Amino acid sequence: MKVILFGATGMIGQGVLAECLRDDRVGQVLAVGRSSLGIENPKLRELIQSDPSDLSAIAGELAEFDACFFCLGVSSVGMKEQDYRRITYDLTLRVANTLAAANPKMTFIYVSGQGTDSTEQGRSMWGRVKGKTENDLLALPFQGYMFRPGFVQPMDGVVSKTPLYRAAYAVTGPLIPLFKRLAPNAVNDNREIGRAMISVAESGADTRVLKPREINARARQ
């Protein structure tokens, strides 16, 4: 399959990219972002530009892609709702609408998170915005799936770009193996998320919203 990947420099995106490059089911990856990945691989192409939502440069190719793995996102810590919404909702929907128009048979997998508020009415700002994003993605004509991972374990030396998350991982990192034994369906590592995305893109899923247990199950397929 041919995959478009957004957010390949992030903690989750790096794991997803590694799995796409490793898995024989993926023939090509187009990574869209603001900076080069610094990786050379015959499967990998890059579209580097200041506005990742502008796909006009590859408009004629979009119908050829089978799936989009959308891992692009930012932490809501310290952000006003308007600014967080502009990145989390507006940018995502611009990309999604473009892809849905080009290829309604495409599979679109969006990384959300535990705590996403599908009612869009809760107290959590990020939960409301993520909920609105999920709901509007699911209304588009392509096959959309929402991934809501739990605690994400970074593999292969990957670190978060967010200082608060880096500090948290520095403290909790040594406890992750114990946590996974005690609550195996509360933890997803970033490469498991990638394997699950490939599996869902290949054969679909019984539910449109996949939580940690479903993500881990699909990673084994």
pLDDT digits (tens, 9 = 90+) for 78-122: 899 999 999 999 999 999 999 999 999 999 999 999 999 999 999
Give DSSP secondary structure letters for 15-83. Answer: HHHHHHHH-TT--EEEEEESS------TTEEEEE-S-TT--GGGGGGGGG--EEEE------TT--HHH
Measure the CA angle with vertex 128, ends 139 and 72; round to 5°. 70
| Residue carrying the six token digits 């990673």 | 219
The predicted pLDDT at position 159 comes to 59
Q: Are 71 and 111 in contact (CB under 8 A)?
A: yes
Could you report the per-residue pLDDT of 135-160, keeping only the tens digit for each?
Answer: 999 999 999 999 999 888 887 766 55
Position 55: which residue type?
A: L
The span from the CA of 90 to the CA of 133, in Å, is 9
Q: Are 144 and 110 in contact (CB under 8 A)?
A: yes
Using pLDDT thresholds of 50, 70 and 90, give the confidence band for residue 162: low
Global confidence as pTM: 0.91
- Flag whether pLDDT at 215 surpasses 80: yes
- Flag whether pLDDT at 188 surpasses 80: yes
Rank 58-62, 150-154, 176-180 by mean pLDDT and report only the highest.
58-62
The span from the CA of 169 to the CA of 154, in Å, is 9
Q: What are the beta bridge partners of residue 70?
A: 6, 110
Q: Are 3 and 67 in contact (CB under 8 A)?
A: yes
Distances (CA, A) of 159 to 14, 59, 164, 187, 204: 10, 33, 11, 16, 30
Could you report the per-residue pLDDT of 189-214, keeping only the tens digit for each?
Answer: 999 999 999 999 999 999 999 999 99
User: Left, alpha or beta for 157 (phi > 0: left; psi -120 to 50: alpha)?
Assistant: left
The predicted pLDDT at position 153 comes to 83
- Flag whether pLDDT at 183 surpasses 80: no
The predicted pLDDT at position 156 comes to 74
- Flag whether pLDDT at 173 surpasses 70: no
Q: Report domain extents, the chain.
A: 2-219
The CATH number of domain 2-219 is 3.90.79.10: no
Q: What is the DSSP letter of 90?
A: I
The predicted pLDDT at position 187 comes to 83
Higher pLDDT, 125 or 153: 125
| Residue carrying the six token digits 């369906």 | 185
The span from the CA of 84 to the CA of 80, in Å, is 6
